[in-house]
Amino acid sequence: MKENNEDDDVNRQVEPTSDGQVEPTSDSGVTRVEPDDAMRESGENERSEPNDMQIGILANLAIEYIKYGKHVSELFSPPRVCRAALKIGLKPGMSFDMTETDPDDGEPWDFTVYEKRRKAKDIIERDKPFLLVGSPPCRAFNVLFGSNITRMDPKKVQEIIREGKSHIDFCIELYKMQMREGRFFLHEHPLSAWSWKLDSVRELRECSDVYKIRGDMCRFNMITNDAQGPALAYKPTGWMSNSKHILNELNKLCTNNDSTHPPHRHADLQSGRAAQAAIYPEKLCLSILKGLRKELISNKVMYTGEIGTVCEDHDEK
Ligand SMILES: [Zn+2]
């Protein structure tokens, strides 16, 4: 069990090592069991409660199913990673977002509505995506909202915070489902957001195999416009996942303090331009998929050469 110490956590997990990798973790969150052992165990414990070994077997069976299921789904996001996944031969699942509509009733996927949450959960349970990417709205948790809060109607503030927390809790409910069934999640929120201090988020971070790292969006070619024209967006971002391969791909910091790289200008994201910067650049999607591909291979769901290598091509030297 990790210690619930914020300073320790930041020092140990957010800062990358010298080679830009996440600190070594234990093996993936899935317990692997050899088939012979699996058969022996199931016979010996036919009428008893499932033990750890049998739970491992079930996790393996879940992984076998994934071969015929979806590889990635998105929550609180239009098709971004899913669209890129399709390009490299992976099977995308649903992308649930306010800007996307439920084909059954033409209504947006508004997760303030219980029925839409329930339905999305059912679809994810059915699709069993190998990776679920969650990007819940950050308005209630960002610094700009904090500085404007004294000028806003207190009731409105409470409503925005309540809604923001409920979206995070919904994500976490589904991340836990992913983990229970031997699959993966990736959670994105601004590094400075106070959502990282919510009890539900801290509890998930304490799970073994769950880590948080920092990635600066300028390293993924996120470009936005300010008064001086287009420029890279700095946008330090926190990523939490039970996939060390995916976190390794996202664990990249701005190079402006590195004398071996030419300095670059950061766009001013104040004055309502932050939403524009929320669009994922392709390089970011491909970095996530590169990590996903490694996770699929390390979990023996796919094999080297079985899917396209487009996501390998953009690597920086
Ligand atoms: Zn930068």
> CA-CA distance, 192 to 211, in Å (whole number)?
17
Task: Name the average pLDDT for the chain.
Answer: 78
| 147: amino acid identity, one letter | S
> CA-CA distance, 139 to 57, in Å (whole number)?
41
Q: Find the helix or strand (DSSP H, E) in which 96 lies.
A: strand 92-96
pLDDT over 80 at 83, yes or no: yes
Q: Using DSSP bridges, classify how beta strands 72-75 and 92-96 pair: parallel, antiparallel or unpaired.
A: parallel
| Four-residue CA torsion sign, 142, 144, 149, 155 | negative
Q: What is the distance in A from the centroid of ligand 1 to the CA of 218?
A: 5
Written as one string, the DSSP assignment of 148-199 is HGGGS-HHHHHHHHHHHHHHHHHHHHHHHHHHHTT-EEEEEEETT-GGGGSH
Span 249-263, pLDDT tens digits: 999 999 999 999 999
pLDDT over 60 at 68, yes or no: no
pLDDT of residue 169: 97
Q: What is the distance in A from the centroid of ligand 1 to the CA of 212?
A: 20
Q: What is the distance in A from the centroid of ligand 1 to the CA of 268?
A: 12
In the block, tokens 């701005």 appear at 254
Q: What is the distance in A from the centroid of ligand 1 to the CA of 172?
A: 30
Considering only 114-128, 147-161, 171-185, which range has the smallest mean pLDDT? 147-161
pLDDT over 70 at 15, yes or no: no
Q: What are phi and psi of 186, to 5 degrees?
A: -140, 120
Instruction: Spell out which residues have Cβ within 5 A of ligand 1, the ion.
Output: 218, 254
| 305: amino acid identity, one letter | G
- One of 2.40.50, 3.40.630, 3.30.9, 3.40.50 is the CATH number of 72-306, namely 3.40.50
Q: Where in the chain is the domain with CATH 3.40.50?
A: 72-306
What value does the mean pLDDT take over residues 192-209? Answer: 94
Q: What is the distance in A from the centroid of ligand 1 to the CA of 96?
A: 30
Q: What is the distance in A from the centroid of ligand 1 to the CA of 246?
A: 21
Q: What is the distance in A from the centroid of ligand 1 to the CA of 260?
A: 14
Across 105-135, b (16+ Cβ under 10 Å) vs e yields: eeeebebeeeebbebbeebbeebbbbbbbbb
Q: What is the distance in A from the centroid of ligand 1 to the CA of 254?
A: 4
pLDDT of residue 156: 86
Q: Using DSSP bridges, classify how beta strands 223-226 and 229-232 pair: parallel, antiparallel or unpaired.
A: antiparallel
pLDDT over 50 at 154, yes or no: yes
| 36: amino acid identity, one letter | D
Using an 8 Å Cβ cutoff, are 136 and 76 in contact? yes
